[in-house]
Chain A
Amino acid sequence: MAQDITVKITDREGVVHEVQAPTDMAMNVMELCRSYELAPEGTIGICGGMAMCASCQCYVLNDVALPEMEADEEAMLSEAFYVKPNSRLGCQVPITEALDGLEIELAPES
């Protein structure tokens, strides 16, 4: 049976949430944040996860290996605001067992 993993997410108010994420539901990090309601409705996942809005931008805080960035994600981040070298789009990061222990912080809303 697929195992849940643990992800630590700092919300936009600075509150840290340690959440359990299922690895068998084809979820991504943006959807994980939405399912735990870590950001108000309408402020995250606006484009539905198409790498077109950057509302799901987050900063990766530890060195858990994430999948390579694809062209769409890179292009969107090049237009987004508050971008840092450790920025990723949550919707482009699928939840897999390799992400266990990941720590992220949601970027400010823009």
Chain B
Amino acid sequence: MITTDILIIGAGPTGLFAVFEAGLLKLKCHIIDALPQQGGQLAELYPKKPIFDIPGYPSVMAGELVDNLMEQIKQFQPGFTLNERAETIDKLEDGTFIVTTNKGTKHHAKVVAIAGGLGSFEPRKPLIENIAFYEDKGVEYFVKDPELFRDKKIVIAGGGDSALDWSIFLADVASEVTLVHRRNEFRGALDSVEKVQELKKLGKINLITPAEVTGIIGEQHVEGLAITKHDETKIIATDYFIPLFGLTPKLGPIANWGLEIEKNAIKVNNALDYQTNIDGIYAIGDVNTYPGKLKLILCGFHEATLMCQSVYNRINPGKKYVLKYTTVSGVDGFDGTRKEAEKQVVKAIE
């Protein structure tokens, strides 16, 4: 069991910055995210786009901001459970919580901070009637372990970067790679398109365009796919079907935690500390709502800061805390490091 002071759900900018603010107050954090990487919307939707309204940065790439946030919190050694979705929550008699993920990982925390943004990113599933039956039986929405496909026949569907990148990568792993896309043109990076073209010429990738996967066949596991091209449907044999049509955020299981929800967001007490209707569960960043709410990174940072102060008072009742400036008091990392402003050199005038 993973234990921590604050369990943060969501490794977007809000969740990441909360680790820093908690660290200043000597509170340990652990973060769960459904995605394999940190950064939330910034990493998933627009890593290469500039942001212009982060104070002090006239412009910063979303991906760079995530890297900087990771660097800033390194000294507070947060734990991460990535690639897993927070699924259930149980409140224990002593007021602490156990949060369990879809893979069964259990986390015990004094408080829970939901920084879930628009929700956990889930794959967009093609509209094939019986697809749910074949999930984990040959239909894979992510390539988590490429070894699963070693010496197997695979069909990838999609026209973006993921479909191209995985076709290229798996061409050396699988025994047969087929890429199916509705158009002849692809939406990915030019060099990936060119690489797929080259692999097609070498016979290492079968390209079927413009076409669509319209059916799945198999007794207990995927055995073949129906592929429709120009109104003509052919069956091709395969071991795996990997549809890569992007991800879409869904509030998902958090919506069933007994929290007050309004317009797909969690209602919080913003006059005080961003706590939800359940004592000990906070919601910060894009995932919360209150009168006048703005879904901006800046607002998530502010909310994370106030939330941490409240958590400090909750965990240390009666203990006084005086707001300190990092410029003056420095930052003590949990890894033994200390950051502080350089002392002025005072030199006597003779």
- A residues neighboring B (CB under 8 Å): 37, 40-43, 46-48, 50, 52-53, 55, 71-72, 75-76, 78-79, 81-82, 110
Q: Which of A43, A52, A79 has the most B CB atoms < 10 Å from its CB? A: A79
Structural contact, A40 and B118, CB atoms closer than 8 A: no
Q: Chain B residues near A37 (CB, 8 Å)?
A: 263
Q: Chain A residues near B49 (CB, 8 Å)?
A: 50
Structural contact, B264 and A79, CB atoms closer than 8 A: no
CB contact under 8 A between A81 and B187, given known A41-B263, A55-B248: no
- B235-265 contacts to A (CB < 8 Å): 245-246, 248-251, 263-265
- B residues neighboring A (CB under 8 Å): 45-46, 49, 118-119, 124, 126-127, 158-160, 181-183, 185-187, 245-246, 248-251, 263-265
Structural contact, A78 and B246, CB atoms closer than 8 A: no
Instruction: Find the A residue at minimum CB distance from B159.
Output: A79
CB contact under 8 A between A81 and B46, given known A43-B264, A46-B249: no
Structural contact, A46 and B248, CB atoms closer than 8 A: yes
Instruction: Find the A residue at minimum CB distance from B160.
Output: A79
Instruction: Find the B residue at minimum CB distance from A81.
Output: B127
CA A40 – CA B45 in complex, angstroms? 20
CA A93 – CA B126 in complex, angstroms? 26
Structural contact, A41 and B265, CB atoms closer than 8 A: yes
B289 CB, nearest partner CB in chain A, Å: 8
**New contact pairs (14) apart from A78-B181, A79-B158, CB-CB < 8 Å:** A40-B263, A42-B249, A42-B250, A43-B264, A47-B45, A48-B46, A50-B49, A53-B45, A55-B248, A71-B185, A78-B183, A79-B181, A81-B124, A82-B127
Structural contact, A41 and B264, CB atoms closer than 8 A: yes
Q: Chain B residues near A52 (CB, 8 Å)?
A: 45, 246
CA A78 – CA B181 in complex, angstroms? 8
Q: Chain A residues near B159 (CB, 8 Å)?
A: 75, 78-79
Q: Chain B residues near A53 (CB, 8 Å)?
A: 45, 246, 248
Q: Can you list 7 A-B contacts (CB < 8 A)? A: A46-B45, A48-B45, A50-B49, A79-B158, A81-B127, A82-B127, A110-B124
Q: Which of B118, B160, B246 has the most A CB atoms < 10 Å from its CB? A: B246
Q: Chain B residues near A82 (CB, 8 Å)?
A: 127
CA A71 – CA B183 in complex, angstroms? 12
Q: Chain B residues near A42 (CB, 8 Å)?
A: 118-119, 249-251, 264-265
Instruction: Find the B residue at minimum CB distance from A79.
Output: B159
B49 CB, nearest partner CB in chain A, Å: 8
Structural contact, B45 and A75, CB atoms closer than 8 A: no
CB contact under 8 A between A79 and B245, given known A41-B265, A42-B118, A42-B251: yes
Instruction: Find the A residue at minimum CB distance from B117.
Output: A42
Structural contact, B248 and A75, CB atoms closer than 8 A: no
**Residue from B45, B119, B246 in contact with A79 in the complex, judged by beta carbons closer than 8 Å:** B246
CA A79 – CA B160 in complex, angstroms? 8
Structural contact, B126 and A81, CB atoms closer than 8 A: yes
Q: Chain B residues near A75 (CB, 8 Å)?
A: 159, 183, 185-187
A66 CB, nearest partner CB in chain B, Å: 21
CA A48 – CA B158 in complex, angstroms? 21
**Residue from B46, B186, B187 in contact with A76 in the complex, judged by beta carbons closer than 8 Å:** B187
